[in-house]
Amino acid sequence: HSPLTCRGINSFANSAYYTAKSGAGVFNTGTMRWVGSINGDGGHGIDARTAKFTSKVTENLLHAFAAG
């Protein structure tokens, strides 16, 4: 539960990562808009910069999962 300010509005960011008993990594973005952000569909105020950021974070996560 991390405080943040976005466009002058105080809010919080939440995400979670844990390792299951099987050794699998589990990541929850804490948002329902993650997929839309990757696609850059333009809805909900998502712009190209946001899409680029979300895509890079997703890429980094997948590389981390692959590395174990």
pTM over 0.75: no
CB atoms within 10 A of CB 40: 16
Residue 11 has φ and ψ, to the nearest 5°, of -155, -160
pLDDT tens digits for 23-42?
888 888 888 788 888 877 76
Lookup: tokens for 31: 């948002």
The pLDDT value recorded for residue 42 is 64
Residue-level pLDDT, tens digit, the chain, 68 residues = 788 898 899 998 888 888 889 988 888 888 878 888 887 776 788 888 888 999 999 999 889 888 87
Lookup: tokens for 2: 């991390």
The pLDDT value recorded for residue 61 is 87
* Measured distance CA(3)–CA(32) in Å, rounded: 19
